[in-house]
Structure 1
Amino acid sequence: MTTSDPRIEVNGPSDYAELLPFLIGHQPEDTIAVHGRIATGVGTGPTMTLPLPEDPATWQSTAEAFATQFHHITHDHGRHDVLDIIVFLCGTPRPGQSSAEAAESMRPLADYFVDAFNKARRAPVMSVIALIDNHWWAYECYLPGCCEGEPLPGPDDPNSVTAQLIRLDRTPGRRASDITQEFLPTEPEDAADLLRALDNEGAAWAQHCATSSDDGTVLQATHTLLETAIRDFRNGATELAHDITARLIYGLNDEWAQDHGLEHIEDDDLPHTRRLWAFLARHSLPPYEAAAVPALSLLAAVAWRQDDQSTARFALQRALTLDPNDEFADAIHGAINHGLDATTLLPIARKAKAERQARACSNDAHKN
């Protein structure tokens, strides 16, 4: 979303704090956001987010890595118009902790981000703003009682940035917790049966990987199950049997099977494949969450095609948290961050489909 409309006036930390949900497309919760201001219009610069790390021991390395990534995606790829940086630290008080105490506890993280961006000598940090319980703090202000715990104006205030944007048909989006509810693990009533199925299929998958079997039997079985599941979800199904669910969750961990899933990225496929990938991700219960990485990546691809970048980013964040080395998730994440159009997935998916069909024809020829 851009807010270059001259009718919107943004002045100071409070206004930028109101602007944040419109920049990132959702209501932030336990999130770090970095926005690069440019001269052509308020809110039109690059914005990136990441989850707020719980462990303070990782804060410095997180700030340094994120500053490097932000500059790589902006300055190193031709974006030299960033004037300065605004960092948002969106947190939640811990039990027994006040909002002010939570804001003060994040001050070292604010300092790490200032140091990391200033060290790069490309764009200085203009402001670091904490957002907690609908109140804001500006760390660069050291005047006692100033910029400390100020409440954000609500949409009922006609002069607020939020109200102005809503009048222009902008939306701050859903809360982060509502977005992730689509794909985070959720125990069904018969969770014990699902866990047994996941355990059995996990053991079978480990055996398959250990033997490096390449006869195509497992892959063909996954293809058949996947086509059946997609057909059923296209016809309105909302659930699968636990054994089928577990087989698909693990079967998609085969690179060829994941490519098969990506084939269903055409417009008519998007609604029902989104429901299927989210269903598989939700049913990857602990301790089997890592098996959901392919389903999460496919969900992100579908959400991206539907112009739902918020869901795509959250699904990719979870996938890369579970497996930081997953190449498919990393590739989609990089494409979104570089501002590529989601239709770039179409030729990739069509090529994968052509290659799969060629392999199938070759296998049939060998059998005959």
Structure 2
Amino acid sequence: MTHHSDAAGGPGEQTIGLRGPGELADALPYFLGFHPDDSVVLIATHGERGRFGGRVRLGIPEYEEDWPEIAVALAKGLVTGSERRSGKPDGIVVFLCRDPAPGGNARQVMERLRPLAQALRLACGGLDVPVYEALCLSGGRYWSYVNACDDPICCSPDGTPVARPGTSAMAAAAAYAGLQAPSSLREMERRLMPLEGAVVADQEQALDAAAIALVPRILEGDRGRIGTETLEVAERVMARLGGATAVGPGVDARDDTLLSVDEAAALILGLQDRDTRDRAAACMEGEGAAPALRLWRALARRCVGPYVEHAAAPLTLAGWVHWSLGQEPEARVALRMALRIDPEYTFAQLLHQACNEGLDPETIRNCLRRLPAGSGAEFPWEDGAGPSDGRAERGVGGAVPAGRDDLPSAGPDDLPSDSDSAATPAPDLRAPASRGRTRPPAPKGSRRPEGPQGRSGERSGKGASVGASSRTRKSPGGRGAAGER
């Protein structure tokens, strides 16, 4: 069977034929934009030639008893979304991706995931859509759950090696088009994870000191000036980053050396204010986009220790700039990480949903271009209508579009309005561990002045959970039965 991308067949566009499970396994990272670690991926195919269509991706749930329910939700989501955009799929291709744990082997992973593959085949068959192929990718090898035979030469029990990087037709086509080889999902997440090592203690101390200094000013009504100072610091650091090398190995480490702990503390705490964050989001295009993206990533890495929850703001800004630049896989990763930290962070919810549903970021760009100084953006959907309104001409509709790569996501009616409500409360500058007390954190040996309560630490847990189990167990990496946000 030959498969093509969703865009294949258009005027002047290159068509790449994929023949056999080996080429399917090699093409998956190029189709998604990253190597999907610990993931189940379903891709719809259309027509006699098996043109690739929509897709869904989910972290593999930890508990086997959840698999049948999750399989039904994934199959239904993909088929329903495809019907709304490009018609009911003629078939589905399934990928189960998980590397072996230390001490394990890839064949054990394949056998462990066999019931999940069977549950997905049954769920798709129940919707009258056959599974043409179901592959397990583990440890650089692949197995077929559908087309395997008893011949050990053809289908070795130990699996078949995936093609070496850069040797396949898909890799050649990507290189010809000037595309970089996809990185892994873990690598994209690693670039946004909190730093470790000696800098952590210094950064925590700087954050403590900055919080103590800002609380009295906020209580005195000096938020506007604080926002202006925050943006001035951001501009200085962006200029510094813009003059440094932006490519090559070690770029993140170089960026970290160009950002002092005091600058990072002032920016991290200043961006907790919605208006300041929205004004910072205007750095999204042109020559300023790349330095801004590097700054937001660096700030996310500086949210260490008890201040890890403060990373929701820089992660969301990083996701927004990625999306604005057309880098959707990186955008989804950053926005998912923001929502893992704070599931009620409305700006991240809205961007994540809009990105997954294939909306054009130009609508948000226009809002930010018109943003007056000292004012937060008034996005079209902040009246509660949701970003789904008025997009019928794009062929997008419903809660589960065909092109999204992860399920579930909060729908418009499920979005709480806490820190992003119209009447923005004073930002909570305290570390999450201190919320619920009456005092912000401070360096050891110093007095701790009382601070504002700010945003509530309580969470309602609202958010659509397609096919989610009523249990609250989570699988490693924050991926549970309910999937990623």
Interval containing the TM-score (normalised by the shorter chain): 0.7 to 0.9
From the superposition, tell whether residues 240 and 142 of structure 1 become closer, same or farther in structure 2 (CA, over 3 Å): closer
Cα pair distance change 1:39/1:292, threshold 3 Å: same
Structure having the higher helix fraction is 1
Deviations 1:316-351 (A, max 9, x none): 221222223322222222222222233232112134
Say if 2:308 is the partner of 1:302.
Answer: no
Q: How many residues align?
A: 350
Q: Does 1:151 align with 2:161?
A: yes
Task: Report the Cα offset of residue 10 of structure 1.
Answer: 1.9
Q: Does 1:16 align with 2:24?
A: yes
CA distance in 1 between counterparts of 2:80 and 2:372 reads 33
The 1:225/1:131 distance shift into structure 2, 3 A limit, reads same
Counterpart AA for 1:45: G
Aligned to 2:117: 110
Aligned counterpart, 2:189: 180
SS of 1:257's equivalent in the other structure is helix
* Cα distance change, pair 110–198 in 1 and its aligned pair in 2 (3 A): farther
Instruction: Give the SS at the match of 1:46.
Output: strand
Please name the residue that 2:286 is paired with: 267
Which residues of 2 match residues 257-296 of structure 1 at below 5 A? 257-296=276-315
TM-score, normalising length: structure 1: 0.80
Tell me if 1:327 matches 2:319. no
Runs of 4+ in 1 over 6 A off after TM superposition: 202-205
Q: Is the 8 A contact 1:219 1:251 kept in 2?
A: no
Asked whether the 8 Å contact 2:293–2:322 carries over to 1, the reply is: yes
The more displaced of 138-147 and 226-235 is 138-147
SS at match of 2:53: coil
Secondary structure at the aligned position of 1:317 is classed as helix
Task: Give the 3 Å change call, closer, same or farther, for CA 80–3 of structure 1 in structure 2.
Answer: closer
- Say whether residues 1:94 and 2:104 are aligned partners: no
TM-score, normalization by structure 2: 0.63
The answer for unaligned runs of 5 or more in structure 1 is 360-368
Q: Which residue of 2 aligns with 1:134?
A: 140
- Partner of residue 238, structure 2: 233
- Aligned partner (choices 355, 369, 377) of residue 350 of structure 1: 369
Q: Is contact 2:195-2:302 (8 Å) kept? A: yes
Tell me the secondary structure at the aligned position of residue 35 of structure 2.
coil
Q: Which runs of 5+ in 2 are unaligned?
A: 243-254, 379-485
Greater CA drift, 296-305 or 174-183: 174-183
* Structure 1 Cα separation of the partners of residues 53 and 87 of structure 2: 11
Instruction: Say if 1:35 and 1:47, in contact at 8 Å, map to a contact too.
Output: yes
Where 2:17 maps in the other structure, the secondary structure is coil
For the 8 Å contact 2:233–2:263, the answer to whether it is kept is no
Q: Structure 1 vs Structure 2: percent identity of aligned residues?
A: 28
Helix, strand or coil for the counterpart of 2:31?
Answer: helix
Q: Counterparts in 2 of 1:239-254, with a 5 A limit?
A: 239-254=258-273
- Does 93-102 or 188-197 show the bigger shift? 188-197
- Letter in structure 2 aligned against 1:182: R
Matching residue of 1:218? 223
Please say if residues 44 and 92 of structure 2, whose CA atoms lie closer than 8 Å, have aligned partners that are also in contact.
yes
